[in-house]
Amino acid sequence: MQVLGRAASVGAFDKRGEESGHVKISLSGNTPEHIIRITRKIDTKNKSEWLLDVFTTRPIQLLEETQKAVGVPDLPVQHHQLIYRSKELKNLEVANLMRKRLPWLKYEMKEEELIEAQEQEKTMKKKMEIAKIWEDSKRPIDYRNEQVRAIMNKLP
């Protein structure tokens, strides 16, 4: 990702061989005495740190404070509404994707059932073949046993 379309990392903004640098801006606050100072420190190791006045902050907090400093009272409210609606939209997109995916899931489940049924059919065919072989191999023995019984029945 390029930062500001000019460099691949914040460390690349160092043009004088320094290991670190900073950028400071000052904004007017709610009163003439209130001044908001925003500082961004960067170094050649791509470490970036934001400061609001003298306290380390995250970019989200920095954005919120900047919105407050601009002086439009509805701006933070509109921003939070935008975030909320964005999350709602994401949820709707996920739900829509799931609705589209459902027929494929049903298809895949039926396909698995078919494969399982085919495997069971193969197993049953093998069992039937084994049973037939068993019955075929028993037939001569059963025939001999019947002959022996018939002879035994004829004996006095």
Q: pLDDT tens-digit profile of 126-141?
A: 999 999 999 888 888 8
28 in a structural domain? yes
Q: Is residue 3 part of a domain?
A: no
The domain containing residue 26 runs over which residues?
10-71
Q: Residue 120: inside a domain, yes or no?
A: no
User: Contact 48/3 with Cβ under 8 angstroms?
Assistant: no
pLDDT of 142 over the 90 cut: no
| DSSP at 40 | E
pTM listed for this prediction: 0.38
Does any domain span residue 67? yes
pLDDT in tens, 10-38: 666 666 777 888 888 888 877 778 888 88
Characterize the bridge pairing of strands 35-43 and 48-52. Answer: antiparallel
Q: What is the pLDDT of residue 6?
A: 64
**Domain annotation covers residue 36:** yes
- Residue 143 domain-assigned? no
In a domain, residue 19? The reply is yes
Q: Write the pLDDT tens digit of every residue in 94-120.
A: 999 999 999 999 999 999 999 999 999
Number of domains in the chain: 1
- In this structure, are residues 67 and 79 in contact, taking their beta carbons and an 8 Å threshold? yes
**pLDDT reported for residue 11:** 63
Give 36's strand partners. 27
58 touches 50 (CB < 8 A): yes
| In a domain? residue 132 | no
